Amino acid sequence: MTAENLILLCLAVPAIATVLIAMCRQVPNLRETVTLSAAVILLVCVLGLLDDVLAGARPSVTLFEVVPGIAIAFTVEPLGMLFGLVASGLWIVNSLYSIGYMRGNDEPRQTPFYMCFGIAIASTIGVAFSANLFTLFLFYEILTLSTYPLVTHKANDEAVAGGRTYLVLLLGTSMVLLLPAIIWTWVETGTMTFAVGGILGEEPNPAIVAALLFLYAYGIGKAALMPIHFWLPAAMVAPTPVSALLHAVAVVKAGVFSIVKIVVYVFGIETLSQSGTAGWLLYVAGGTILIASIVALKADNLKRRLAYSTVSQLSYVVLATAILAPISVVGAAMHIAAHAVSKITLFFAAGSIYTAAHLTEVSQLNGIGRKMPWTMGAFAIGALSMIGVPPTAGFLSKWYILMGAMNTQQWVAVGIIIASTLLNAAYFLPVIYAAFFKAPDENSGGHDHGEAPLPMVIALTATAAGTILLFFFPAVPLALSKMLVGG
């Protein structure tokens, strides 16, 4: 099979799975089989592209032109490859986990749930492989729309309100800021196709570069730069597998991925650093990291704490990009992968605590590590990766980001990273300590429970293992990240 067909197949597999899921709605076991096998097939397809990309090829395919000059086209470049791998790999474990969670909690409307999941994955792959801004935007919006029913899955007032915030902020920023930025790029340069070194030309007008950077940075609301991060905590009303999808697999990753992609392939790292207009982004990202960490420190609801941790971790990627050193961009790309496996572990753990023990607050978790050793063990690994302690994936990406900051002598960035590491430790370590070393509370410990359902435990153990494996075997993601900056 040619690489071109393989790209189309990657998009088609989750889309076809969506249709099959709808057809199998009467037979839950068959329906779940469809989801799982589609996830495996998708990973195989994405892996099929890996060798070509590592060998330096850039397989691409153009579907058709919508308006002259504006085509729906796909090109697999290293960053998209990395993101595609992360998304398709995690879809497998997430599906496994979803099955356990949805059945364990007797959730209603499971068929639409899995269907929306399929569409969301298809659009994530579309974002990852997009060859131009228009294709990126198209799938970015489909991703927002297809995850809205997932966020509002519970269909109560709280879910509807959260969904409203989610939709209005994401759709709003993308339509009001991102779309004009794309059209402006198109009118200025006459092209929208991503190209190595950027498409803005040799010496673009700094004022335009500054304005475009602002529009892109805030237009991509999924990257959750403050002050447009509110949708992320609001979306916490969703069931936990959806939170995992939002935080690890698809949505926020599509946001930071788009920012890195646009900085590298639309602006060009060199062009942007010469124009000297990206300084503010570093401070905004740094501010987001610190403020979100402080909010997380104070949050008692576990999922809320994780949500603000995500806001802060996303800004690591943006910060690393804004440093504009090639080595820090490697760190940014690595962090997309590292944060994905670690954060999904944390959410899986939160979800299995909810499923097994019906607990949601940090203050209720005293001694739970003894009843749920696997879950809390995985949680600990994920948390260590968030802090950046070896041997976890988070250490690697942080290392590269720090190197970039030091090489370019951006001491503010160095300071922010160190300060936030301390804050991360401050809001994660007490949870681990309480879970393993504190005695269970008398008043909340009356409920007897063991581990969560088996599929959930398998899933979270797998991602925890992945977090550690990524530290010892980072060859593939690292190679892709380095190819991104031409290393």
Partner 1 sequence: MREQLPALQVVIPLLGAVLCALLRRGAIAWVIALGVSWTLAVVSVLLLLQVLDTGPISYAMGDWAPPWGIEYRVDALSGFLLVLISVVGAVIMPYAHTSVCDEIEERNQGWFYTMYLLCLAGLLGIAITGDAFNAFVFLEISSLSTYAMIALGRDRRALLAAYQYLIMGTIGATMYVIGVGLLYSMTGSLNLVDIASRLGDVETSRPILAAIAFITVGVSLKLALFPLHVWLPNAYAFAPSVATAFLAATATKVAVYLLLRFLFSVFGVAIVVQGLPVTEIFLVLSLAAMFGASIVAIFQEDIKRMLAYSSVAQIGYITLGIALASQTGLTGGIVHLANHAMTKAALFLLLGAVVYRIGACKITDMAGLAKKMPVTMGAFVVAGLGIIGTPGTAGFISKWYLASGALEKGWWWLALLIVASSLLSVIYIGRVVEVIWFRPLAKAGEKASEMPLQMMIPALVLVAATIYFGFDTTWTADVAARAAQVLLPGAP
160 binds partner 1 (CB under 8 A): yes
27 binds partner 1 (CB under 8 A): no
Show contacts with partner 1 in window 353-372 (CB under 8 A).
none
Q: Within 10 A of 329 (CB to CB), how many other CB atoms are there?
A: 28
475 binds partner 1 (CB under 8 A): no
| Nearer Cβ to partner 1 (138/294) | 138
Q: What is the nearest approach in angstroms of partner 1 to the Cβ of residue 74?
A: 15
Q: What is the nearest approach in angstroms of partner 1 to the Cβ of residue 237?
A: 12
* Ramachandran area for residue 471 (φ above 0: left; ψ -120 to 50: alpha; else beta): alpha
List the beta bridge partners of residue 74. Answer: 61, 130
Specify the DSSP element, H or E, that contains 73.
Answer: strand 70-75
Residue choice 54, 138, 359, 458 for contact with partner 1 (CB under 8 A): 138
Show contacts with partner 1 in window 162-201 (CB under 8 A).
163-164, 167-168, 171-172, 175-176, 179-180, 183-184, 186-187
Show contacts with partner 1 in window 73-102 (CB under 8 A).
none
| Nearer Cβ to partner 1 (214/399) | 214
> Minimal CA–CA distance to 326: which of 219, 482, 98?
482
Show contacts with partner 1 in window 43-72 (CB under 8 A).
64, 66-67, 70, 72
Q: What is the nearest approach in angstroms of partner 1 to the Cβ of residue 273?
A: 25
Interface with partner 1: number of residues (CB under 8 A):
29
* Angle between the N-to-C axes of helices 78-104 and 251-262, in degrees from 0 to 180, rounded to the nearest 10: 170
List the beta bridge partners of residue 60. Answer: 75
Q: What is the nearest approach in angstroms of partner 1 to the Cβ of residue 194?
A: 17
- Structure token digits, residue 451: 């581990």
Alpha-helical regions (H) of 190-277: 206-219, 231-234, 240-244, 251-262, 269-275
Q: What is the nearest approach in angstroms of partner 1 to the Cβ of residue 158?
A: 11
| Nearer Cβ to partner 1 (81/121) | 121
8 binds partner 1 (CB under 8 A): no
| Nearer Cβ to partner 1 (153/343) | 153
What is the rounded CA–CA span in Å between residue 193 and residue 410? 32
| Nearer Cβ to partner 1 (156/363) | 156
152 binds partner 1 (CB under 8 A): yes
Specify the DSSP element, H or E, that contains 64.
Answer: strand 60-67
DSSP per-residue string spanning 428-460: HHHHHHHHHHSPPPTTTTTS---PPPHHHHHHH
| Nearer Cβ to partner 1 (145/468) | 145
What is the rounded CA–CA span in Å between residue 118 and residue 123? 9
| Nearer Cβ to partner 1 (170/330) | 170
Residue choice 97, 113, 114, 137 for contact with partner 1 (CB under 8 A): 137
| Nearer Cβ to partner 1 (22/479) | 22
| Nearer Cβ to partner 1 (221/404) | 221
- For residue 130, the SS3 value is strand
395 binds partner 1 (CB under 8 A): no
What is the rounded CA–CA span in Å between residue 224 and residue 230? 8
Contacts of 153-162 with C-beta under 8 Å, sequence gap 24+, read 153/107, 153/109, 153/113, 153/238, 153/239, 153/242, 154/237, 154/238, 154/239, 155/109, 158/237, 159/237, 159/238, 161/234, 162/234, 162/235, 162/236, 162/237, 162/238
Contacts with partner 1, residue ranges (CB under 8 A): 64, 66-67, 70, 72, 134, 137-138, 141-142, 145, 152, 155, 159-160, 163-164, 167-168, 171-172, 175-176, 179-180, 183-184, 186-187
